[in-house]
């Protein structure tokens, strides 16, 4: 019985996906989830897990260390998140933008006819 229900749900899902609006909706939702993850969740996580050493203690700690180690410590202390989807010149966003824009223009053209 459960297999039959899953089979029916999957058939309905694939019929909906083959419909003109199904894949566009999934595309928009996937793009939104990826952007939320890359621009909101990961930067917040980086901010929360960064060491919370007060700056005065940090400077005192740097005085007695080797210059090469100082550079590494400063880099670790001041690290900022670099969004994954902006690497490669933002080609990821250009590709998704082209797909979403193209599908919206085709839908508008089809509705005018």
Extents of the domains making up the chain = 2-49+82-112, 52-81
Residue 20 pLDDT more than 70? no
Q: Cβ(96)–Cβ(31) under 8 Å?
A: yes
pLDDT score for 88: 86
**Exposure pattern of 57-92 as b/e (b: 16+ CB <10 Å)?**
eeeeeeeeeeeeeeeebeeeeeeeeeeebeeeeeeb
Q: What is the number of other CB atoms lying within 10 angstroms of the CB of residue 41?
A: 11
Q: Cβ(85)–Cβ(40) under 8 Å?
A: no
Report which of 104, 109, 107, 105 is spatially closest to residue 31, judged by C-alpha positions: 104
Average pLDDT, stretch 71-76? 83
pLDDT-based confidence at 35, cuts 50/70/90?
Answer: very high
Average pLDDT, stretch 21-41? 88
Taking every pair of Cα atoms in the chain, the longest distance, rounded to a whole number of angstroms, is 75
- Better-predicted residue by pLDDT, 95 or 113: 95
Among left, alpha and beta (phi > 0; psi -120 to 50; other), residue 90 is left
Please measure the distance between the N-terminal and C-terminal CA atoms of the chain and give it in whole angstroms.
Answer: 45
Residue 1 pLDDT more than 70? no
Look up residue 90 and give its two tokens.
């933002």
């Amino acid at each position: 019985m459960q297999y039959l229900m899953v089979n029916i749900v999957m058939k309905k899902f694939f019929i909906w996906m083959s419909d003109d609006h199904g894949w566009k909706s999934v595309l928009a939702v996937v793009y939104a989830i990826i952007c939320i993850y890359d621009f909101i969740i990961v930067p917040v996580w980086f901010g929360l897990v960064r060491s919370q050493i007060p700056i005065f203690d940090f400077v005192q700690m740097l005085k007695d260390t080797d210059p090469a180690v100082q550079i590494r410590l400063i880099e670790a202390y001041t690290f900022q998140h670099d969004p994954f989807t902006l690497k490669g010149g933002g080609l990821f966003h250009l590709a998704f933008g082209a797909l979403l824009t193209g599908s919206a223009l085709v839908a508008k053209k089809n509705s005018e006819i």
